[in-house]
Structure 1
């Protein structure tokens, strides 16, 4: 075998050694584009998340969730259109959010990952600062009247019970006093009667 042919075969073998291990990776799916984008700070509160992948998705095995500081966002079931998966929800308040996804592509390979974005909508922040103010006033109006009536009824019950106790104790003291007087009179009468008999 000539030297030029040997060198050519060695070069082809080296090229195959480099390319073949990477071939399965090229066949796997991957996230190509996201809206909102990874690490983005959006000025308008989004109402959806859209993820586009390199290959078509299997609708039965596509999961997309959005979570914030208060927990998981109440979103729709994922909708799949070819290579794109999306979920919709109400406009997000300002804050940091995490998008997590798990998809299965045509080759059956599972791809999962996550990324973060931030909402900084001036309109959303101003509306949130004014909404909570009426709530405490409404709750106070509903709670105060029962508390006042309960407080007013408590002294009335105490006065009724105390007046009843005083009447009972007054009657008992009167009967005891009368009994003492009767016993005293009977004793005095007996003493005088006995003294009179001795004198006679």
Structure 2
């Protein structure tokens, strides 16, 4: 009976460690986007607004939009407001496919980057904006020049899930070993 109490205490301690250590493993992640991923819009959006799990650092937040040819769409510098970041377009977007590329930094310092696309198919398309060459690309624009295949760590089952799975595996092993010992002593 004493061994059973010892095993139960070990399981409770392991469970407590898993539940309290969760935020230390957490990386920031995109939770909401306007326009949303793969959206088919009948009117051009005025801005892109992204909401994340953690508060954003405005100096380390990048958001950019490119057209189907990979040209950067003229927009404001990214603004961070708590957990949300946004850019506003200088002119209405013409019909076409657009790619949003973003980069933020988690509270633990881990960079998180991602991309997604949306389509504008307005009934009466606005006139196409004339391309305005950028005289000097900012560091923020350079930081978001990530390939389209980049996705979030969480979306591809990053290290946070591995750590949680490992702790759960240890808990299960301790429980099985404890049950085997109790059964062995009774025999």
Q: TM-score range by the shorter chain?
A: 0.5 to 0.7
Instruction: Report the 3-state secondary structure (helix = DSSP H, G, I; strand = E; otherwise coil) of the residue aligned with 2:9.
Output: helix
Q: Partner of 2:37 in structure 1?
A: 38
Compare CA radii of gyration and give the structure with the larger one.
Answer: 1
Mapped contact 1:30–1:111 kept (Cα < 8 A): yes
Q: Partner of 1:194 in structure 2?
A: none
Kindly provide the CA deviation profile for residues 44-63 of structure 1, in whole angstroms up to 9, marking residues without a partner as x.
11121011111111111111
Which structure: greater helix fraction? 1
Q: Partner of 1:57 in structure 2?
A: 56
Kindly provide the CA deviation profile for residues 6-39 of structure 1, in whole angstroms up to 9, marking residues without a partner as x.
230342355357557754333x211111100111
Instruction: Report the 3-state secondary structure (helix = DSSP H, G, I; strand = E; otherwise coil) of the residue aligned with 1:124.
Output: coil
Instruction: Report the 3-state secondary structure (helix = DSSP H, G, I; strand = E; otherwise coil) of the residue aligned with 1:122.
Output: coil
Mapped contact 1:58–1:106 kept (Cα < 8 A): no
TM-score normalised to the size of structure 2? Answer: 0.59
TM-score normalised to the size of structure 1? Answer: 0.55
Shift of 1:93: 0.9
Misfit runs of 4+, over 6 Å: none
Structure 2: any 5+ residue segments left out of the alignment? 129-187
Instruction: Report the 3-state secondary structure (helix = DSSP H, G, I; strand = E; otherwise coil) of the residue aligned with 1:72.
Output: coil
Structure 1: any 5+ residue segments left out of the alignment? 129-200
Specify which structure has the bigger relative contact order, considering alpha-carbon pairs within 8 angstroms and separated by 6 or more residues: 2
